[in-house]
């Protein structure tokens, strides 16, 4: 997402293109965040 915003700010990407590309990336980011949130980590004791 950050790269897309940079491209838009540098006028390498139109606002319409940015609007089309952002929703799928947001969904992907949320799905990854949900998976990380469900993950359990076990720290072995020394």
Asked if the structure places residue 20 within a domain, the reply is yes
Asked if the structure places residue 16 within a domain, the reply is yes
User: Residue 14 belongs to what domain range?
Assistant: 2-28
Query: How much is the pLDDT for 10?
Result: 96
Strand, coil or helix: 45: coil
As for how many domains the chain has, the answer is 1
Asked if the structure places residue 45 within a domain, the reply is no
Asked if the structure places residue 18 within a domain, the reply is yes
Asked if the structure places residue 43 within a domain, the reply is no
Asked if the structure places residue 23 within a domain, the reply is yes
Task: Give the model confidence (pLDDT) of 3-36 as tens digits.
Answer: 999 999 999 999 999 999 999 999 999 999 888 8
pTM for this one?
A: 0.60
**Residue 44 binned pLDDT confidence (cut-offs 50, 70, 90):** confident
Asked if the structure places residue 34 within a domain, the reply is no
- Higher-confidence residue: 43 or 31? 31
Distances (CA, A) of 14 to 2, 25, 34: 15, 17, 30
Strand, coil or helix: 14: coil
Asked if the structure places residue 35 within a domain, the reply is no
């Amino acid at each position: 997402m950050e790269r897309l915003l940079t491209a838009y700010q540098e006028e390498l990407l139109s606002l319409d293109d940015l609007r089309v590309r952002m929703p799928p990336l947001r969904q992907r980011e949320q799905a990854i965040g949900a998976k990380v949130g469900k993950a359990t980590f076990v720290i072995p004791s020394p």
